[in-house]
Amino acid sequence: MELFNQVLKQAGVIPQLRLFIQKEGGGTESTGPHTVKILRSGKGIVNIKNPRTGVLEPHIWVWFEEKGSEVRYSIPVKNKQGGIHYLIERFSTLEEGDIIILEGKKRANEIGQVTSFISVQKATTDAEPTIEVPENGEILIGESLKSQIKDPWSIPEEEIPIIEEEEHGDFSEDN
């Protein structure tokens, strides 16, 4: 397998991070949790052809380091309803160098249809949390603190919009 990796590296090809794989007979299966370090995001939006619809859709590429190797993943800009995709909101709170856990997951909705989504969690550290005190010296506690913070990490998984399967057409990179 090392020879395959050498050929990819010499060709300048960065493999895609696969969070789901196709199952024989249809459907997808999660490849499990992936602990990755964010290296960089694309310099712009690229259009990738959706293989199911044939329509070009805007995506943003993100490059990660996983187990010492560089991998990439494209995030759709819009969801199926035309709004901002939930992963765009999640990644907007992250920075280069952050270590996160990405995992393809499935759940059934209220009528029993199984849908897929990508879980994004910050990796935990053993470091002591720090408390920042505002210049005015006031520390918000309880409900007053909750009303001041809109944290996308606090969105319950059942409220996350769903994507169906992990498929991409043209794998062009933006440079």
CA distance 150 to 49: 33
* Tens of pLDDT, residues 129-149: 555 555 555 555 544 444 555
pTM of the model: 0.66
Distance between the two ends of the chain, CA-based, in angstroms?
Answer: 28
- Nearest-Å Rg of the Cα atoms of the chain is 19
* Tens of pLDDT, residues 55-78: 999 999 999 999 999 999 999 999
Query: pLDDT truncated to tens, each residue of the chain (175 aa)?
Result: 788 878 888 898 899 999 999 889 888 899 999 999 999 998 899 999 987 789 999 999 999 999 999 999 999 999 888 899 999 999 999 999 999 999 999 888 788 888 888 999 998 765 555 555 555 555 555 444 445 554 556 666 666 665 554 444 444 444 4
Three-state secondary-structure class, residue 78: strand
The residue count for the chain: 175
- Calculate the alpha carbon distances from 10 to 4, 7, 131, 154 in Å: 10, 5, 47, 42
Nearest residue to 41 (alpha-carbon basis) of 104, 101, 117, 97: 97
Domains of the chain: 2-126+135-159 (2.40.50.360)
Torsion of CA 23, 29, 33, 39, to 10 degrees: 60
Three-state secondary-structure class, residue 47: strand
**pLDDT, position 143:** 47
Q: Where are the alpha helices (DSSP H) in the chain?
A: 2-11, 86-92, 143-148
